[in-house]
Amino acid sequence: MAISPSTLPRYLLTLVLLQLPILDAAPTKGFSPLEPILAMVGGDAELPCHLSVNMSAEHVELRWFRHTFSPAVLVHQAGRDLEDEQMPEYRGRATLVPEELAEGIAALRIRGIRASDDGEYRCVFREDSSYQEAAVRLSVAALGSDPHIHMEIQESGEIRLECTSVGWYPEPQMEWRTSQGEKLASASESMNADEEGLFTVAASMVIRDISLRNISCCIRNSLLDQEKETGIAVPARFFPRLPPWVVAVAVVLIILGLLTTMSMFFIWRLYKERAQERKKAFGSKEKLLEELKWKKATLHAVDVTLDPDTAHPHLFLYEDSKSVRLEDSRQKLPEKAERFDSWPCVLGREAFTSGRHYWEVEVGDRTDWAIGVCRENVVKKGFDPMTPENGFWAIELYGNGYWALTPLRTPLPLGGPPRKVGVFLDYEAGDISFYNMADGSHIYTFPNISLSGPVRPFFCLWSCGKKPLTICSTAGGPEEVPVITEAQGFSKDIPLSPMGEDAASGDTDTLHSKLISAQASQGAP
């Protein structure tokens, strides 16, 4: 005869009882409540079990168990508890109620109720030739935290709402409601249990109806017949009807704005053309000096990694902490003071307070990014401008143009799009420079910066995509730098090798960088 796993404990119990020397009387059923016992997580619960006859339960053999007969939740024999047969998770938590034993009630008291305590419990009495058993159902419940609603306005004008809450048991029901009580459909829902078995829930929705103004998120525990609700006021996203004169003024302002934009565009084109002319007129002497300056910077290469504690929730870091990409989905990350919550940015883990440091960033053919250096204590909450006044020194590719993030944004005329950018920090000199690693050409320099306190590498992405931004890992020693003699038109006073004054600074010297390939399989959690 086959025995199913669900009937095995009772089968074993029957075998044990059959081994008793005297078993003339048939087993009787003890009394237990028909309705489940309801208990809250963190509280206490008492599971009653009555003998079917008026007898004391002080000296009978008593066993409380769940899925297995042994080890058990509690074993009481000869007036004491047998700890050796008790399940580890119930030690110190499960005891009998002593004042009720004399009345024939073997009540089990469980302290510090957990979600894992939910389920059926069985009690068995044995005295001489008779035994009794009964079953009690314990229903565990937990009412979670008040819902929190996060609102995000999309570029399309639609509004995305996300409702989250923690600490629920069992799985609750979630729904969106209007101020009139009408239910709204969720775009997505998720429920995940933590280590203690409590559920963290999240639901999102996208608002396209411009008439909706007040929306609430409701989370309900059906076992407790209780719910928690939080509302939010949705701002208007479209222009109201305006009088004709206001429309006329708006049209004039738009035309003036277009003319101003066109003028700025032509000025920028003229600036770019003149810059290209200056670049063509640039002699071989200046080009070689620029190359020497870049190679000198690479002698101070450092290994930079990304700091996940500062990463915006929409930024997904790769396993090697060298690559990052921007996704539409938002990660559930712990709130930290050092984490960016508005700009999609992340800092390097390394902080510099002195010396010279150089690293390279693989930008590839991404269409938009920003990289550079910032003070460690920059404001990471809100949308403060990323300018030197606020502690940022960076360049960016945005749209079709390269810019230095100065207060009025300085356009950067480049001969070609760089796929790899080198960043050089000279802390004492107050110099932050950027280089195009395709040919070692200089991109831009923030000179004469008054630095104080730690500064860290800075990275930012403006649009989503599978192509990551990657920090290159440097390998090998410094490459020999060719010496330019006076016959070639240069001064021999220029230090050209690690044996000069830079070697005395104690920095690790290296010239070349090697890209560490990112794990393509690493994606959003």
Specify the pLDDT at position 483.
Answer: 29
Task: Decide if pLDDT at 62 tops 80.
Answer: yes
Average pLDDT, integer, range 363-385? 93
- Listed residue (161, 182, 297, 289) closest to 234, CA to CA: 161
Average pLDDT, integer, range 76-92? 86
The model's pTM is 0.40
Task: Decide if pLDDT at 453 tops 90.
Answer: yes
Rounded Cα distance between 458 and 374, Å, is 6
Query: Which tokens sit at 238?
Result: 């479209």
Average pLDDT, integer, range 8-31? 43
Specify the pLDDT at position 83.
Answer: 85
Task: Decide if pLDDT at 61 tops 70.
Answer: yes
**In terms of pLDDT, which residue wins out, 426 or 105?**
426
User: Of all helices (H) and strands (E), which one includes residue 18?
Assistant: helix 8-18
165-174 pLDDT, tens digit each: 999 999 999 9
167-196 pLDDT, tens digit each: 999 999 999 998 888 888 888 999 999 999
Specify the pLDDT at position 2.
Answer: 44
**C-alpha distances in angstroms, 176 versus 184, 230, 406?**
5, 10, 44
Specify the pLDDT at position 272.
Answer: 85
Rounded Cα distance between 491 and 197, Å, is 73
Task: Decide if pLDDT at 429 tops 50.
Answer: yes
121-134 pLDDT, tens digit each: 998 887 766 777 88
Specify the pLDDT at position 227.
Answer: 92
Rounded Cα distance between 64 and 74, Å, is 5
Average pLDDT, integer, range 38-50? 90
Average pLDDT, integer, range 225-235? 89
pLDDT band for position 514 (cuts 50, 70, 90)? very low
Specify the pLDDT at position 500.
Answer: 31
Write the secondary structure of 356-415 as one string of H (helix), E (strand) and C (coil): EEEEEEECCCCCCEEEEEEECCCCCCCCCCCCHHHCEEEEEEECCEEEECCCCCEECCCC
Query: Which tokens sit at 484?
Result: 């330019």
328-343 pLDDT, tens digit each: 999 999 999 999 999 9
Specify the pLDDT at position 291.
Answer: 61
Query: Which tokens sit at 355?
Result: 């010396």
On average, the pLDDT of the chain sits at: 79
pLDDT band for position 23 (cuts 50, 70, 90)? very low
Specify the pLDDT at position 504.
Answer: 32
Cβ contact 176:216 at 8 Å: yes
Percent of the chain whose predicted confidence (pLDDT) is above 70:
76
Q: What is the DSSP letter of 348?
A: B
Cβ contact 47:107 at 8 Å: yes
CB atoms within 10 A of CB 226: 12
Amino acid at 179: S
pLDDT band for position 258 (cuts 50, 70, 90)? very high
Specify the pLDDT at position 18.
Answer: 38
Task: Decide if pLDDT at 305 tops 80.
Answer: yes
Identify each DSSP E strand in 210-330 by its residue range. 214-221, 226-233, 315-317, 323-326
Percent of the chain whose predicted confidence (pLDDT) is above 90:
47
Specify the pLDDT at position 486.
Answer: 32
Residue 458 main-chain phi, psi, to 5 deg: -135, 135
Q: What is the DSSP letter of 290?
A: H
Average pLDDT, integer, range 417-421? 92
Specify the pLDDT at position 31.
Answer: 56
**In terms of pLDDT, which residue wins out, 290 or 165?**
165
Rounded Cα distance between 467 and 323, Å, is 10
**In terms of pLDDT, which residue wins out, 280 or 245?**
245
Report angle CA 439, 443, 444 to the nearest 5 degrees: 155
Cβ contact 301:507 at 8 Å: no
Task: Decide if pLDDT at 238 tops 50.
Answer: no
Average pLDDT, integer, range 407-411? 92
Rounded Cα distance between 13 and 435, Å, is 78
- Listed residue (459, 484, 454, 481) closest to 470, CA to CA: 459
**In terms of pLDDT, which residue wins out, 515 or 349?**
349
Task: Decide if pLDDT at 463 tops 90.
Answer: no
Q: Is the preceding peptide bond at 385 cis, omega within 30 degrees of 0?
A: no
Report angle CA 450, 452, 454 to the nearest 5 degrees: 130
Specify the pLDDT at position 416.
Answer: 85
pLDDT band for position 293 (cuts 50, 70, 90)? low
